[in-house]
A = this chain, B = another copy of it.
Amino acid sequence: MSRARLSDVAAAAGVSISTVSLVLNGRVARISSQTQDRVREAAASVGYTPNSVARGLRTQRTRTIGLISDRIATTPFAGRMLAGAQDVAREHGHLLFLVNTDGDADVEAEAVRALAGQQVDGMVYAAMWHRVVDAPAGLPAGTVFLDCRPSSGGFPAVVPDDRTGGRDAVRLLVEAGHRRIAYVDVDEDDPPVAAGLRHEGYLEVLADAGIEPDPALHVRQESSAAGGRAAAAALLDLPADRRPTAVFCFNDRMAAGVYVAAHRRGLDIPGDLSIVGYDDQQLVAGELDPPLTTIALPHYEMGRWATEVALGVREPPEGGRPHLMPCPIIRRDSVGPPPAAAPTPAGGEPLTTP
């Protein structure tokens, strides 16, 4: 038995196809309620489900949206971004086409063509780290960039507000009384945009607090637990008066390495060393001992935002600048006052947020 069509419902209800279509689409202004009931009953009894392909051809709206992303496989963040996109799509009666390109330009071009061929109503182009990307050729106007900034303008985009996130992280430490705060940065040829922005946030808060930044406290390592451990080792080898009492890490993985280095030296967290991470990577931050205070990346919200803009239910900001999504502060147990040996600075006036 093949699927029921509109004509099957029409035959069962004893009316025309047009009438069935009008009733089932709610355009019932001029249809008697008896007829409406008969049509609805007939539709239910034959188990009618509209054929979206035929409808899409006729209306030129397919109620689908395309999501192109590089490497969904290898990042723990993809899930939340997809979930945000997927939830918005569902809320608006849309279905999501997902294409994973692994960053391959040919695959990307093919995906753009295929999705255009499917007549998607909207398109989202997602990266898995905040960075600048070249828009693939043929990308339809109105494509929304998710967690990345297009190098050529004209596309709406949403990225995490890493600068404010960096400020919040460091402010947590300054407000706990720390003055010697290190930044464990990532060391790559092509550093993520986020690294620079978080560093700017770091410097801004130090400036606000009247703390002279110490270049020795800005260390770079590879973005991993091993890198964090090496960075921490270098910092903890500094002479006592130059040693940091707190560390802000580019991400939670590096923070995990800082934990290891600190524990190996018998240091207590946060008693001897306070640590703030970034990303709120559950399996890392939540299971460290003590649990890591960190800044969360708003992947779910960014996924939602991008999809809402792609669907046209939300207006992108004026001026073509990327929308900055706030990064929530996740207070756990890795921040405390500096150790007594490095006393709290006297007479600090309360910090103000510009």
* A51 and B54 alpha carbons, distance in the complex (Å): 12
Interface size class of A (residues with CB under 8 A): 35 or more
Q: Specify the chain B residue showing the minimal Cβ separation from A3.
A: B116
Contact between B62 and A86, CB atoms less than 8 A apart: no
- A52 in complex: contacting residue of B86, B90, B118, B260, CB < 8 Å: B118
Contact between B225 and A52, CB atoms less than 8 A apart: no
Given A260-B289, A283-B76, A118 and B98 contact (CB-CB distance below 8 Å) = no
- A119 in complex: contacting residue of B51, B87, B260, CB < 8 Å: B51
Other 12 A-B pairs with CB < 8 A, given A52-B117, A53-B53: A3-B116, A49-B116, A57-B57, A72-B86, A73-B300, A76-B79, A76-B283, A86-B98, A87-B100, A96-B99, A257-B287, A284-B287
For A97, list chain B residues within 8 Å (CB). Answer: 64, 95-98
B-contacting residues, A99-126, CB 8 Å: 99-100, 107, 110, 113-119
Shortest beta-carbon contacts, A-B, top 9: A73-B83, A98-B98, A225-B287, A52-B117, A73-B79, A86-B100, A53-B56, A52-B118, A53-B57
Contact between A287 and B224, CB atoms less than 8 A apart: yes
- A53 in complex: contacting residue of B79, B96, B118, B260, CB < 8 Å: B118
Contact between B83 and A72, CB atoms less than 8 A apart: yes
Contact between A100 and B82, CB atoms less than 8 A apart: yes
* A50 and B82 alpha carbons, distance in the complex (Å): 28
Measured CB to CB, the residues of A under 8 A from B are: 3, 49-54, 56-57, 62, 64, 67, 72-76, 78-80, 82-83, 86-87, 90, 95-100, 107, 110, 113-119, 224-226, 253, 256-257, 260, 281, 283-284, 287, 289, 300
* A72 and B99 alpha carbons, distance in the complex (Å): 15
Q: Specify the chain B residue showing the minimal Cβ separation from A77.
A: B79
Nearest Cβ in chain B — how far from A135, in angstroms? 17
Give how many copies assemble into the complex: 2
* A107 and B95 alpha carbons, distance in the complex (Å): 12
* A82 and B56 alpha carbons, distance in the complex (Å): 26
For A50, list chain B residues within 8 Å (CB). Answer: 117
Contact between B98 and A96, CB atoms less than 8 A apart: yes
For A116, list chain B residues within 8 Å (CB). Answer: 3, 49
Nearest Cβ in chain B — how far from A214, in angstroms? 29
Q: Can you pick out 6 interface pairs between chain A and chain B where the beta carbons lie within 8 Å of each other?
A: A49-B116, A52-B117, A64-B118, A72-B82, A86-B100, A260-B289
